[in-house]
Amino acid sequence: MQHKSKMAGADGDDSLYPIAVLIDELRNEDVQLRLNSIKKLSTIALALGVERTRTELLPFLTDTIYDEDEVLLALAEQLGNFTMLVGGPEYVHCLLPPLESLATVEETVVRDKAVESLRKISQEHSPVDLEVHFEPLVKRLASGDWFTSRTSACGLFSVCYPRVSSTVKAEIRQHFRTLCSDDTPMVRRAAASKLGEFAKVLELDYVKSDIISLFTALASDEQDSVRLLAVEACVSIATLLPQEDLETLVMPTLRQAAEDKSWRVRYMVADKFSELQKAVGPEITKNDLVPAFQNLLKDCEAEVRAAAANKVKEFCENLPEDSRETIIMTHILPCVKELVSDTNQHVKSALASVIMGLSTILGKDNTVEHLLPLFLAQLKDECPEVRLNIISNLDCVNEVIGIRQLSQSLLPAIVELAEDAKWRVRLAIIEYMPLLAGQLGVEFFDEKLNTLCMAWLIDHVYAIREAATCNLMKLVEKFGAEWAQNTIVPKVLGMANDPNYLHRMTTLFCINALSEVCGQDITTKQMLPVVLKMSNDQVANVRFNVAKSLQKIGPVLDSNALQTEVKPVLEKLDTDTDMDVKYFAQEAISGKYTTLSIFFLYEVASLGPRSKWPILYVSERSTMCPAECVSQCER
């Protein structure tokens, strides 16, 4: 420690940076400049050295906390990492006063950040400091006048509780209890949201005696926004309690929440269902949660049904093995069947995103008999999102019954999505193509889907064309270069002669994407000539994309081709009449040089790991990304 402070004293040339100048910076009239200064607060502290940071900077910060919330947010964040700058853990309590003020401001994000920082530095307090400095702060916040400080206090109990004496522990419990029945709902919400966390650090006896009564009270609060937070706490509390206590201590409240009159609370139960299920164990699940889940799946609010539908797979998966199949078949599946024809598309699409997962749980026969009709129905759903969700999860079914069972229905669904009027839908289906191709196999793909993939290349929306090129790359990764050479490359290169310049550019984009996966041979022999020829295109956009492509495929080419074929063309483009073409030609040329120079430096100077490179060289790396540098070195 001593060493550290000596160091700061020795090289922080104090006379150069009078605190007044630095404080002037923090006070600048321009908010943006003030914000910048605050973000560099650590630099200022470093310049001042630990002692003056403690005695001058921190008091200043504590006194002048009236600023834009954005500045305060940055300050709250900075202070969480300030321990070393004030002289290490033995001085960390100096940071408490400014953070305490920040924890009382109105703006939630600032307050939350201050609490986060306080939680962080609480760990750096010794047990003694925690009782002398930290815990009194928590107490002050907990009994603050305005709700903001009480709200902040809620997040601090659990970090100090485990490390203080039993008398202080009793006080902390008392404070928490008080806040749980605070008369502002904001504070009750804060307390409710920290209830689970606090329960975890309490001794089991106190969980039973204190926490349960608080939990029950919060779960029947008059405001639904408080009640729903108790549901979250329910998970932690149930996990902590021994099985035999759950029925009496937790279940009455949970049952009540699942049937709450507010849909928000029921939604929360549905949303946390898997966690609840794990927390209460298999017996209670069988007796209580199964009927509750059925009710949620049939809830009158679509929001609740959708949340429950999302959990169908996970719930079934986690059912006790001995009765899993019976429960699913007799209790869950009938509800699921109804949801397939729900009136609300969000419910259907939530279901579609998980329903396929049931097949692994139920096995082949049940899947074919019961689930397959549902899959097929959803594949024909009027809402594209539902169909997409089914298609995107085909892998689960593939493992159980093989995708062939579905392929007859699959194809029309895919084709329809591929031609959907909404480009986002088309985009989504493109993203699943590689997955589908992998499962359906190369023959099926060539026969049915290849044309679709090529058609996307001339879609009138750029995002689709872009995704289509990326898709081709992934397909080649799956099916290999030879397949590419026979099926894709000729068609792509053919587009180079298309009268529409957008399509000609697509050829270039495809080449950019494909050159690496296709390898040097195909790139040099088939693609490069086409690219070079396009450098004479009459549309400037095409020409500068030639320059970009050459830069991009450069690493795949051998040095001979680079020297004899690429270089002359780039030099020619460098003299183009169009400004942009020139620019990108120069980029391509200089980009290569940089590659080489970095390569050189890396080898010769052996500077060690990249992070340690002197700033000068790193900043001159220009456009090269690290991955490219490395591949250069390997070659």
Please identify, among the stretches 255-263, 281-289, 320-328, 481-489, the one whose residues bind another protein according to the rule CB under 8 A. Answer: 255-263
CB-wise, 616 or 627, nearer to another protein?
616
- Identify the DSSP state of 93: G
* Terminal Cα distance for the chain, rounded: 48
Total number of residues binding another protein (CB under 8 A)? 45
Which of 434, 423, 425, 421 has the alpha carbon at shortest distance from 469? 434
Q: Using the rule CB under 8 A, is 255 a contact of another protein?
A: no
To another protein, the closest distance from the beta carbon of 177 in angstroms equals 21
Q: Using the rule CB under 8 A, is 503 a contact of another protein?
A: no
Q: Are 439 and 475 in contact (CB under 8 A)?
A: no
To another protein, the closest distance from the beta carbon of 46 in angstroms equals 6
CB-wise, 226 or 484, nearer to another protein?
226
Element (H, E) at 90: none
Tokens read off for 74:
């940055």
**For 539, phi and psi rounded to 5 degrees?**
-90, 125
CB-wise, 43 or 536, nearer to another protein?
43
Please identify, among the stretches 294-302, 351-359, 503-511, 524-532, the one whose residues bind another protein according to the rule CB under 8 A. Answer: 294-302
Q: Are 202 and 211 in contact (CB under 8 A)?
A: yes
> Exactly one of 5, 19, 23, 25 binds another protein (CB under 8 A); which one?
25
- Cβ count near 337 (within 10 Å): 14
Of 437-496, binders to another protein (CB under 8 A) are none
CB-wise, 304 or 510, nearer to another protein?
304
Q: Are 389 and 349 in contact (CB under 8 A)?
A: yes
> Exactly one of 210, 275, 288, 342 binds another protein (CB under 8 A); which one?
342
Which of 346, 262, 263 has the alpha carbon at shortest distance from 310? 346
Of 148-207, binders to another protein (CB under 8 A) are 184-186, 189
To another protein, the closest distance from the beta carbon of 185 in angstroms equals 6
DSSP H helical segments within 125-223, as ranges?
127-129, 135-142, 147-154, 157-160, 166-180, 185-201, 204-206, 212-219
> Exactly one of 11, 447, 482, 620 binds another protein (CB under 8 A); which one?
11
Contacts by 160-163 with C-beta closer than 8 Å and gap 24+? 160/122, 160/130, 160/134, 160/135, 161/198, 161/201, 161/202, 162/201, 163/127, 163/130
To another protein, the closest distance from the beta carbon of 304 in angstroms equals 9
> Exactly one of 38, 44, 279, 511 binds another protein (CB under 8 A); which one?
44
> Exactly one of 298, 324, 380, 572 binds another protein (CB under 8 A); which one?
298
> Exactly one of 47, 74, 95, 488 binds another protein (CB under 8 A); which one?
47
To another protein, the closest distance from the beta carbon of 619 in angstroms equals 13
Residues 488 and 495: their CA atoms lie apart, in Å, by 11
Residues 338 and 336: their CA atoms lie apart, in Å, by 5
Give CA separation, 245 vs 40, 252, 284, 318, in Å.
53, 12, 12, 22
Given phi > 0 = left and psi -120 to 50 = alpha, else beta, which region is 422?
beta
Q: Using the rule CB under 8 A, is 208 a contact of another protein?
A: no
Residues 17 and 21: their CA atoms lie apart, in Å, by 7
Residues 145 and 169: their CA atoms lie apart, in Å, by 23
> Exactly one of 178, 344, 392, 407 binds another protein (CB under 8 A); which one?
344
Of 541-600, binders to another protein (CB under 8 A) are none
CB-wise, 67 or 210, nearer to another protein?
67
Q: Using the rule CB under 8 A, is 224 a contact of another protein?
A: yes
Look at residue 80 and give its three-state secondary structure. coil
Residues 569 and 530: their CA atoms lie apart, in Å, by 12
To another protein, the closest distance from the beta carbon of 5 in angstroms equals 14
Of 594-613, binders to another protein (CB under 8 A) are 612
To another protein, the closest distance from the beta carbon of 107 in angstroms equals 7
Give CA separation, 313 vs 83, 292, 352, 396, 533, in Å.
47, 16, 11, 12, 55
Please identify, among the stretches 173-181, 343-351, 468-476, 531-539, the one whose residues bind another protein according to the rule CB under 8 A. Answer: 343-351
To another protein, the closest distance from the beta carbon of 20 in angstroms equals 12
CB-wise, 181 or 451, nearer to another protein?
181
> Exactly one of 39, 40, 140, 478 binds another protein (CB under 8 A); which one?
40
Q: Using the rule CB under 8 A, is 262 a contact of another protein?
A: yes
CB-wise, 301 or 587, nearer to another protein?
301
To another protein, the closest distance from the beta carbon of 33 in angstroms equals 8
Binding mask 51-90 for another protein (x = CB under 8 A): -----------------x----------------------
Q: Using the rule CB under 8 A, is 107 a contact of another protein?
A: yes
To another protein, the closest distance from the beta carbon of 151 in angstroms equals 9
CB-wise, 422 or 533, nearer to another protein?
422
CB-wise, 16 or 627, nearer to another protein?
16
Q: Using the rule CB under 8 A, is 146 a contact of another protein?
A: yes
Contacts by 40-47 with C-beta closer than 8 Å and gap 24+? 41/74, 41/75, 41/78, 41/82, 42/78, 42/81, 42/82, 42/85, 44/17, 45/82, 45/85, 45/86, 46/8, 46/12, 46/85, 47/12, 47/16, 47/17, 47/22
Q: Are 437 and 478 in contact (CB under 8 A)?
A: yes
> Exactly one of 120, 140, 264, 286 binds another protein (CB under 8 A); which one?
264
Give CA separation, 95 vs 374, 550, 552, 609, in Å.
60, 56, 51, 36
Of 225-254, binders to another protein (CB under 8 A) are 225
Q: Are 123 and 156 in contact (CB under 8 A)?
A: no
b/e per residue 484-521 (b: at least 16 CB within 10 A): bbebbbebbbebbeeeeeebbbbbbbbbbbbbbbbeee
Look at residue 17 and give its three-state secondary structure. coil
Q: Using the rule CB under 8 A, is 382 a contact of another protein?
A: no
To another protein, the closest distance from the beta carbon of 427 in angstroms equals 19
Please identify, among the stretches 16-24, 309-317, 498-506, 532-540, the one whose residues bind another protein according to the rule CB under 8 A. Answer: 16-24
To another protein, the closest distance from the beta carbon of 13 in angstroms equals 8
Q: Using the rule CB under 8 A, is 616 a contact of another protein?
A: no
- Which residues bind to another protein, rule: CB under 8 A? 11-12, 16-17, 21, 25, 29, 31, 33, 40, 42-44, 46-47, 68, 106-108, 146-147, 184-186, 189, 222, 224-225, 261-264, 298, 300-303, 338, 342-346, 612, 615
